[in-house]
C-alpha cells in the first residue's frame, strides 16, 4: 500500500538532532521541550509502542515502505502504532503524532549513545537521514514558526490577564415557571405566625395563630391556589478564584437573584426551601441568603455572598477551609445526583438533608481528611451571626446572642465510606443551637434557645454507568433551654428522600432523574398543657427532571414537581409546579 511520507518518516526525523545532522530548525533544547509539551497535551493514550512491524496489521509486506518501517521499528524501537495494532499509513499525520514520533526517537538515540551502541547507526543510515533533512527542511521550519507563534500568543494572553494567579468563572440560571392546583384553599399559617413548617397544622400551630388549639383549618389565613402566577426567575453568580501556592484557593463569589418562586406564595412547602432554590422566596430574599430585598422586575442586587479559603495542611490528604461566609453543602452532605440546584433537582429540599444543613451558611471553618481511597472524615462549624460583636435585638431570628460562640451555631461531622468506587455511604451527626427558636419556631419567651441533635445518612450507588440510586435520611431530637423549658417535652422529627438517575440518557451529558421525599416533620412532642406539636399529615414531594446538554456551556432542563399535603396538612390541596430551566456556564 502507498503511505504518506510524513506518517512513514515522522519517527526517524528525530535522529537528526542528536546525530548532529539537523539544521537549526529543531536543534535548540527549548524546541524539544516545546514538542514534549505538545505530546503531553495532545497525544494522551492514543498511540502505543510496537516491537515488530509484523504487529501492524494494516502494513503490506510487499509495500515499498515495509523495509523502512521494519528498520525504524525493530532496529531503533521508536515508531509507534495505534492501540488496535494499525499504522494507518494513508492517513495524514497530525502535529501531535509528528511530535510523538520525534520524541520517541530522541529518547531512543539518547539511550543508544549512553549505552555506547551508537554504531547501530550505519553510514547508509546517516546518508538517508541527510536526505530526509533536506526533503523536510520546509516542514521543520514551518513547525518551528508555528511553535514561536504559539509562544507569542500565550504571552499576549497572559499580559492581558488581570492577575495570572486568578481566574473568573460564572453561571447564569434562568427559569420560567407556573404552578397551582384547584380552587381549594392553601392554609399557609406556619410561616406568618412564626411557626416552622415542620409543625404544620398541629394544635400548637392553631393555638399560636388563633388562640384556639381546636380551631378548624378553615379559620387560618389562606390563599386560593389559583392565584399563583407564571413567573420568570434568574440567578447570576460570578466566582473569582485565586491561588497563592498552587494547591490552595481563595474563592470570592458575587451573586444576585431576581424573581420569585411559588414558595413566596405557598410559604412553608419543601421545608421552607422553595420549589426553585435559585429564586427569591418570602420577603424577596434568596433561600441561600445571597440576595436580600431582590426585585421582581429583573433587577438583582449583588452581594459578596461567599468568601472562603481552602488549603492543604501537613499533607495533600488533609485539607482545611475557613471564611467569613461558608455554604455548608459545599463540604458536607454532598451527593453526585442530588446536590446542585443549577443542573439537577430544582427544589431546595432535594439538594441536601434539611436537618443536617438546618443552619445553612455563615462564618466558620472545618476540614476534610482523606484517610485513603475508601474512607474520609469531615467536620464543619458555622455561626450564622458569627460576625456580630454584640447581641441582636429581640424579635429577629436568631436573636438573644451572637458572635462565633455566643449565638446560634451548628457543628456537623461526617464519616464517608466507599465500599466500592461507585458507591458512597455518608454517616452524619449534627448538633445545632437556635437562639430564641426551635426548628425554626419562635419561642416568644417560653425558652432561651432550642438545641437539636441530628443523626443522618446519605447514600448513593452508580449500579451501572447509566443507572444510579440515591437517598438521604435524618432523625432529629430537640429540647428547649431556659426557665420555661419544662413546659415543653422533647421534640422528635424526621426527613427522608430517595430517587434514581439515568445518566447519559439519549446522549452524553444528559440526565433523567426522579425523587420522592418527606421534608422535616415533627413526629412527637407537646406543651405541658397538652398541646400537640404533631401535624395532621406528612408532606410528600415529587420531582422529575430531564437535563438536555445542548453544549459544554448550556443545558436545558424541563422539571415537574408535585406537592402532596403541603406543609404537613391534610387540609391543603396539592400543588403542581412546572419549570423550564436554562443554565449557562462560562
Residue with cell string 516542514 = 139
Does residue 400 register a pLDDT over 80? no
Strand-strand pairing, 361-372 and 48-49: unpaired
**Percent of the chain clearing pLDDT 90 (strictly above):** 43
Does residue 218 register a pLDDT over 80? no
Tell me: the pLDDT tens digits for 237-272?
A: 999 999 998 889 999 999 999 999 988 888 888 999
Does residue 528 register a pLDDT over 70? no
Whether 456 and 473 have beta carbons less than 8 Å apart is answered as yes
Domains and CATH numbers, the chain: 5-160 (no CATH), 166-585 (2.40.160.10)
Tell me: the pLDDT tens digits for 85-102?
A: 677 777 777 766 777 677
CB neighbour class for 582 (10 Å; exposed up to 12, middle 13-18, buried from 19):
middle
Phi and psi angles of residue 101, each rounded to the nearest 5 degrees, phi first: -65, -40
CA gap 429, 380 in Å, rounded: 11
Cell of 542: 415529587
Sign of CA dihedral 214, 215, 220, 226: positive
Picking from 546, 557, 440, the residue whose alpha carbon sits closest to that of residue 502 is: 546
Mean pLDDT of 32-61: 56
CA gap 370, 271 in Å, rounded: 32
Picking from 363, 186, 340, 212, the residue whose alpha carbon sits closest to that of residue 289 is: 363
Least confident piece of the model among 148-152, 218-222, 413-417, 499-503 = 218-222
Residues in the chain: 586
pTM across the whole model? 0.71
Mean pLDDT of 455-470: 96
Q: How far is CA 289 from CA 10, 57, 121, 239, 502, in A?
A: 60, 63, 72, 17, 32
Question: Chain centroid to CA 133: how far?
Answer: 52
Q: How far is CA 176 from CA 97, 379, 571, 575, in A?
A: 48, 37, 29, 17
Question: Chain centroid to CA 541: how far?
Answer: 23
SS (H, E, C) 286-318: ECCCCCCCCCCCCCCCEEEEEEEEEEEECEEEE
Alpha helix ranges (H) inside 394-504: 403-406
Q: Per-residue confidence at 377, pLDDT binned at 50, 70, 90?
A: very high
Q: Per-residue confidence at 410, pLDDT binned at 50, 70, 90?
A: very high
The whole-number pLDDT of residue 488 equals 76
The whole-number pLDDT of residue 225 equals 54
Picking from 22, 140, 12, 150, the residue whose alpha carbon sits closest to that of residue 78 is: 12
Cell of 449: 434557645
3-state secondary structure of 453: strand
Whether 179 and 543 have beta carbons less than 8 Å apart is answered as no
Mean pLDDT of 416-445: 90
3-state secondary structure of 80: strand
H or E element at residue 31: helix 29-42
H or E element at residue 233: strand 231-242
Tell me: the pLDDT tens digits for 264-275?
A: 888 888 999 999
Q: Who has greater pLDDT, 461 or 329?
A: 461
3-state secondary structure of 485: helix
Peptide bond into 95 cis (omega under 30): no
Whether 525 and 491 have beta carbons less than 8 Å apart is answered as yes
Phi and psi angles of residue 136, each rounded to the nearest 5 degrees, phi first: -105, 15
Sign of CA dihedral 189, 191, 195, 197: positive
CA gap 545, 559 in Å, rounded: 4
Q: Who has greater pLDDT, 374 or 1?
A: 374
- Considering only the C-alpha atoms of the chain, give the largest distance between any 2 of them, rounded to a whole number of Å: 108
Picking from 166, 9, 160, the residue whose alpha carbon sits closest to that of residue 98 is: 9
CA gap 125, 112 in Å, rounded: 15
What DSSP letter does each residue of 108-164 carry, written as one string?
HHHHHHHTT-GGGS-HHHHHHHHHHHHHTHHHHHHHHHHHHHHHHHHHHHHHHSS-T
Amino acid at each position: 500500500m502507498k503511505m504518506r511520507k510524513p506518517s512513514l518518516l515522522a519517527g526517524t526525523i528525530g535522529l537528526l538532532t542528536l546525530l548532529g545532522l539537523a539544521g537549526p530548525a529543531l536543534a535548540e533544547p527549548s524546541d524539544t521541550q516545546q514538542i514534549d509539551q505538545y505530546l503531553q497535551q495532545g497525544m494522551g493514550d492514543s498511540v502505543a509502542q510496537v516491537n515488530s512491524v509484523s504487529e501492524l496489521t494494516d502494513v503490506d509486506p510487499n509495500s515499498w515502505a515495509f523495509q523502512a518501517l521494519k528498520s525504524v521499528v525493530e532496529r531503533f524501537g521508536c515508531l509507534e502504532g495505534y492501540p488496535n495494532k494499525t499504522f494507518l499509513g494513508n492517513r495524514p499525520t497530525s502535529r501531535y503524532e509528528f511530535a510523538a514520533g520525534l520524541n520517541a526517537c530522541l529518547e531512543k538515540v539518547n539511550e543508544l549513545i549512553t549505552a555506547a551502541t551508537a554504531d547501530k547507526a550505519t553510514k547508509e543510515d546517516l546518508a538517508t537521514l541527510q536526505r530526509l533533512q533536506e526533503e523536510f527542511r520546509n516542514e521543520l521550519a514551518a513547525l518551528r514558526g508555528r511553535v514561536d507563534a504559539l509562544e507569542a500568543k500565550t504571552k499576549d494572553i497572559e499580559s492581558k490577564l488581570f492577575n495570572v494567579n486568578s481566574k473568573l468563572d460564572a453561571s447564569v440560571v434562568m427559569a420560567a415557571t407556573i404552578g397551582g392546583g384547584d380552587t381549594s384553599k392553601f392554609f399557609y399559617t406556619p410561616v406568618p405566625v412564626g411557626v416552622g413548617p415542620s409543625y404544620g397544622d398541629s394544635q400548637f400551630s392553631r393555638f399560636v395563630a388563633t388562640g384556639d388549639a381546636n380551631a378548624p383549618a378553615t379559620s387560618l389565613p389562606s390563599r386560593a391556589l389559583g392565584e399563583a402566577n407564571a413567573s420568570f426567575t434568574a440567578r447570576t453568580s460570578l466566582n473569582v478564584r485565586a491561588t497563592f501556592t498552587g494547591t490552595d484557593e481563595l474563592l470570592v463569589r458575587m451573586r444576585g437573584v431576581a424573581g420569585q418562586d411559588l414558595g413566596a406564595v405557598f410559604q412553608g412547602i419543601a421545608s421552607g426551601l422553595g420549589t426553585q432554590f435559585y429564586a427569591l422566596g418570602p420577603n424577596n430574599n434568596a433561600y441561600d441568603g445571597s440576595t436580600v430585598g431582590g426585585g421582581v422586575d429583573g433587577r438583582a442586587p449583588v452581594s459578596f455572598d461567599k468568601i472562603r479559603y481552602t488549603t492543604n495542611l501537613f499533607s495533600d490528604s488533609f485539607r482545611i477551609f475557613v471564611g467569613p461566609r461558608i455554604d455548608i453543602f459545599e463540604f458536607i452532605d454532598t451527593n453526585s445526583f442530588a446536590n446542585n440546584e443549577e443542573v439537577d433537582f430544582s427544589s431546595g429540599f432535594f439538594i441536601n438533608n434539611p436537618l443536617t444543613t438546618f443552619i445553612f451558611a455563615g462564618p466558620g471553618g472545618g476540614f476534610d481528611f482523606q484517610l485513603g481511597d475508601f474512607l474520609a472524615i469531615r467536620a464543619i462549624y458555622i455561626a450564622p451571626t458569627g460576625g456580630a460583636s454584640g447581641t441582636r435585638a429581640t424579635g429577629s431570628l436568631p436573636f438573644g446572642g451572637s458572635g462565633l460562640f455566643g449565638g446560634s451555631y451548628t457543628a456537623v461531622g461526617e464519616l464517608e465510606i466507599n465500599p466500592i468506587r461507585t458507591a458512597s455511604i455518608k454517616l452524619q451527626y449534627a448538633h445545632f443551637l437556635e437562639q430564641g427558636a426551635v426548628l425554626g419556631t419562635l419561642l416568644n419567651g417560653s425558652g432561651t434557645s432550642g438545641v437539636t441533635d441530628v443523626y443522618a445518612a446519605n447514600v448513593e450507588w452508580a449500579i451501572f454507568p447509566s443507572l444510579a440510586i440515591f437517598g438521604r435520611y435524618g432523625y432529629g431530637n430537640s429540647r428547649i433551654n431556659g426557665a420555661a423549658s419544662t413546659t415543653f417535652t422533647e421534640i422528635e422529627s424526621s426527613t427522608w428522600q430517595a430517587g434514581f438517575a439515568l445518566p447519559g440518557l439519549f446522549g452524553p451529558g444528559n440526565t433523567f432523574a426522579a425523587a420522592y421525599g418527606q421534608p422535616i416533620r415533627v413526629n412527637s412532642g407537646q406543651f405541658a398543657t397538652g398541646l400537640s406539636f404533631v401535624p395532621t399529615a406528612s408532606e410528600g414531594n415529587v420531582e422529575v427532571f430531564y437535563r438536555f446538554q445542548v453544549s459544554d456551556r448550556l443545558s436545558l432542563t424541563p422539571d415537574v414537581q408535585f406537592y402532596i399535603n403541603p406543609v404537613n396538612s391534610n387540609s391543603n390541596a396539592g400543588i403542581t409546579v412546572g419549570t423550564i430551566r436554562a443554565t449557562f456556564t462560562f
